Chain A
């Protein structure tokens, strides 16, 4: 069980509160006043500690074993979800789930990477790291959604696309590239929710859409902090330094113009309150869908194109500036 260092004091207090609650119930000793006091204290601790998390600590929250998985949200946000299976080419990839569901009385298509809930499930899901068939399955579902005019909601929580032998043999790069291209022109609304780890190509492979929303403690990066540290300092134990450098938090990404909105998490992180986190995501989805729903298809697609077209920062040297010997 992975305990977070910065979480320990909160967990201890939460345990104490639980004990008092049990005693109050069973032994008829009334600790109500003490419980109330301690709950206020715990809430204050959760707020203060989680507000000040470093990027590396957020990465750990994002990877927490108890953090809600895509299917935890699907069950709480949508009704009548029907999981569909397979890419119709090779096989099914349990690391990517998807299928139609009802949202506010209307059909939508859900796709998302799915990490496991326990060791057995994690192995079954390949720890949420998709193979090419996962990306191809996602594209099949997006195309189906476009055919029937259903909005797509894509949930991202993956350390990355699986770097395996079979994945390379079956064209991991081709599968991701095709998704990038075809999501960009898919004729329906697409909303992306990065709720855990957004691991590089494995994330963007189902990450092109009209709106990109991100949970407060989620991370999204071109490389893991460990990978970055290994390249930079030949030392993957310096991952916490690399996490600062690589700019991977929701706040960084909002500033860089890569995401549209940060979704608040309950104090103490999403793993403390699945229902509340799901309710926040649901509200954000409702709002964002309502915003893009009225757009004509042509405008929607042009906006989606421009959104990614405008990403990136560089300096353009104009002829005059070059002549004057300085950058413009």
Chain B
């Protein structure tokens, strides 16, 4: 499974070097164990540290390559860009800079394709764009991909990589995207279509508290931070250090809010297995 195969013509090119956190040098230092790793070895290992198993963050593009059948993904739901409705300080500049560094219009990619031959609708938030925070564009495109799944009568997959939660720069409108996306998921549920939610590092705030916690089946990557209030906010509230592993994927499994932790190398086969349950009877 090649993460970094040649880009298909229908895919948006996002050069690897634009990824936040992983320099494109010969060596990459593991953020967890501090081991200096050959960047090439790291990439071949799906950006998982061979020494300690730390999962580096992936872009939406890399994630698509990881889990979708090769050459089947097409972007849809239009091209939307954010508006600076509140005339918020430095928001326009921030958007422009993040568009340049990420190669994305905003912090979300939506599309259709196949996983193990099965047609799915998929939305992915991308932490390389303003920490994947949800403003009007993310909310709208997530709502559109949910409605598209309903229209196509196919399973929905959302991959979250949204440490930013609801995007401050769009104020109350960002908060309302939580209601919008959750209401759309209610429609999907009414249509009896499955929603598989994949939570990756980091997922926080208003994203966790909307589509992040509403999956029929919820899968997380190892050690992913998944929270409502961020660790620092809680430490300020309780005035003490948080226990090790608090708000990490494994903790959420033991607390009962996530079904399973799946290693990156097993993510696709897990999805293929799980999607089988939802195959329409006539195609069996």
* Residues on A facing B (Cβ under 8 Å): 161-165, 167-174, 176-178, 180-182, 184-185, 200-201, 203-205, 207-208, 220-223, 228, 231-232, 245-248, 252-253, 256, 258, 304-305, 308-309, 311-317, 322, 327
Residues in B55-99 with C-beta less than 8 Å from chain A: 78-83, 85-86, 88-89
Residues of A within 8 Å of B211, CB to CB, are 177
Count of A-B residue pairs with CB < 8 Å: 187
Instruction: Known A-B contacts: A176-B178, A222-B166. Give 7 more (CB < 8 A).
Output: A181-B185, A185-B183, A207-B179, A223-B168, A256-B171, A309-B183, A317-B105
Stretch touching chain A among B21-29, B137-145, B276-284: B137-145
Rounded to whole angstroms, the CA-CA distance of A172 and B205 in the bound complex is 10
Give chain A residues whose Cβ lies under 8 Å from the Cβ of B85: 256, 313
Please, which residues of chain B bring their CB within 8 A of the CB of A304?
A: 183
Where chain B touches its partner, the secondary structure class is helix
B12 located at the interface, meaning its Cβ lies under 8 Å from any Cβ of chain A in the complex: no
- Give A252 to B86 CA distance when docked, in angstroms: 10
CA distance A252 to B82 in the complex (A): 19
Chain B CB within 10 Å, residue with most, of A167, A313, A314, A327: A314
- Per-residue CB contact flags for chain B residues 185-226 toward chain A (1 = under 8 Å, else 0) read 111011000000000000001101111111000000000000
- In the complex, whether B128 has a CB less than 8 A from a CB of chain A is no
Contact B173 A312 (CB under 8 A): yes
Q: Which of B172, B190, B228, B229 is close to A256, meaning CB atoms less than 8 Å apart? A: B172
CB contacts (< 8 Å) of A161 on chain B: these are 228-229
- Chain B residue nearest in CB terms to A165: B238
Q: B174 to chain A: which residues have CB within 8 Å?
A: 222
Contact of A315 among B80, B187, B256 (CB under 8 A): B80
Q: What are the 3 closest A-B residue pairs judged by CB atoms, nearest first?
A: A312-B136, A163-B229, A180-B182
Contacts of B206 in A (CB 8 A): 200-201, 222
Question: In the complex, A217→B47 CA distance in Å?
Answer: 51
Please, which residues of chain A bring their CB within 8 A of the CB of B82? 314-315
B182 touches A258 (CB 8 A): no
Q: Are B168 and A316 in contact (CB under 8 A)?
A: no
Q: Which of B104-162 contact A (CB under 8 A)?
A: 105, 135-137, 139-140, 143
CB–CB A176/B228 < 8 A: yes
10 contacts between A and B (CB under 8 A): A165-B242, A177-B209, A201-B209, A222-B168, A222-B172, A223-B168, A231-B168, A232-B89, A309-B143, A312-B135
Would you call B210 and A177 a contact (CB within 8 A)? yes
Number of B positions contacting A (CB below 8 A): 61
Most A Cβ at <10 Å: residue of B174, B209, B229, B237: B209
Q: Mark B24-41, 1 if CB is under 8 A from A, else 0.
A: 000000000000000000
A135 (CB) vs chain B CBs: closest residue: B209
- Decide: A178 near B246, CB < 8 A? Known: A204-B178, A222-B168, A222-B174: no
| Nearest-CB residue, chain B, relative to A322 | B79
Contact indicator A313/B83 (Cβ below 8 Å)? yes
Q: Are A208 and B179 in contact (CB under 8 A)?
A: yes
Q: How far is the CB of B107 from chain A (nearest CB, A)?
A: 12
The listed residue (A181, A200, A252) touching B186 by CB distance below 8 A is A181
For the complex, give the distance between the alpha carbons of A169 and B246 in Å.
9
Q: Nearest Cβ in chain A — how far from B161, in angstroms?
A: 16
Chain A residue at minimal CB-CB distance from B173: A312
How far apart sit A247 and B173, CA to CA, in the bound complex (Å)? 10
Q: Shortest CB–CB separation between residue B203 and chain A, in angstroms? A: 9
Known contacts A161-B228, A177-B210, A184-B186; A314 and B79 CB within 8 A of each other: no
- Would you call B48 an interface residue if the criterion is a C-beta within 8 Å of the partner chain's C-beta atoms? no
Q: Name the one of A169, A208, A247, A308 contacting B171, with C-beta atoms under 8 angstroms.
A: A247
Kindly list chain B residues whose C-beta atoms are within 8 Å of the C-beta of A315: 80-83
